[in-house]
A = this chain, B = another copy of it.
Amino acid sequence: MTSTALQSPPAAPLVLRRCRDLVAPALAEAIGGLHPWVAEMAGYALGRCEIGGAPATHSQGKGVRQALAVLGAEAAGGSGEAGVPGAVAVELVHTFSLLHDDIMDGDALRRGRPALWKAYGTGPAVLAGDALFALAVETLAAGPATAHAAAAVRHLTTALRDLVRGQADDLLFADRPWTGPEAVGVGEYEAMAEHKTGALLGCALALGAQLAGAPRETAIALDRAGRHLGVAFQIADDLLGIWGDPAITGKPVHGDLRQGKKTLPVLVALNAPGHPALAGLLASPADLDDSGVRKAAALVERAGGRAGALREARRHLAAADALLATASLAPRPAEELRSLLSSLAHRTI
């Protein structure tokens, strides 16, 4: 699959940059209050500096979650500024989860650089994640102790619970068989993806709206939209993990197949009638070699796994779109939000 970045509405990078610029001072202030050593690790993890604190030479993340919080506030009729504490909190939670997930998954690379645990050690990376986690909650709980602040914290804790639950399921999927009654079902997979990826996207949107004074039903619709979006993004990741261009993904071709990862295209293919060759290949105890993974990718595609996963991703995107369309949102920010989401989705699917 090649990048289709040219199809993106040109506005998307600008929207992301505008939101990043709006959030940057508050994010920097929050990080600056940490223990200096932890602040350096946080800066590295956020792409704000290199190892040892030298100025950043790599690009930062896109900042999708912070943008969703800002756009959520604007779509609820408030100012983008109103969403900033929520934006800082979700960006910190996202970074915390990447730090700890990289340890759990043994991923040594993150955005083309050594993962934090590779650069600073496992113990310090655990600590830095904890610090960002605590800082995220503190950011929302700071300021006057109001019912409003309590509701925002509660929203974040719901996302945190789902995040941990999704990561737990994802780790456990690795030990489950490919076929038979113990196999991972498509529904189970999508629940995992909703928890692991969707909950925080939904939280970002809803938290932004809530901080801008949105009514409860608007926040709920935005939360649900974000959850569908998360499933679509996770499926897009799966598609890239098998058919993505290594020059763009920064990961080896067919990497997820080589690692035997339970991804949606494979699960869909195994659910299609007549897949004994694929099941046999995946069940072989030895790691697949180059020709094995090529063969597996072809079998997944022939059994409809690629098309089926793409269909699922599009279904979740449409559901997110429908929820945004029915929520009472300010027209211009809602349009910007939809265009951003469609651009992000079309980058990969």
Contact = CB atoms under 8 A, between A and B. Distances in A.
Nearest to A158: B138
Interface in A123-145: 123-124, 126-127, 129-131, 133-135, 137-138, 141-142, 144-145
Nearest to A172: B37
A175 B24 CA distance: 33
Interface magnitude class on chain A = 35 or more
A219 B165 CA distance: 35
A162 to B, nearest CB: 10
Nearest to A164: B131
A169 interface: yes
B146 A160 contact: no
Interface in A169-201: 169, 171-172
Contacts of A169: 35
A104 B133 contact: no
Given A150-B146, A160-B138, A168 B126 contact: no
B147 A123 contact: no
B161 A135 contact: yes
A278 to B, nearest CB: 28
Contacts of A129: 126, 130
A38 interface: yes
A316 interface: no
A149 interface: yes
Contacts of A167: 127
B127 A130 contact: no
Contacts of A165: 35, 38
Nearest to A169: B35
16 contacts: A38-B164, A100-B126, A100-B130, A104-B127, A106-B123, A122-B122, A129-B130, A131-B168, A138-B157, A145-B147, A145-B148, A145-B150, A146-B150, A147-B150, A149-B150, A153-B153
Given A127-B167, A134-B160, A145-B154, 18 more contacts: A38-B164, A100-B127, A103-B126, A106-B123, A130-B133, A134-B157, A134-B163, A137-B153, A141-B154, A142-B154, A145-B147, A145-B148, A145-B150, A145-B151, A146-B147, A146-B150, A147-B150, A149-B150
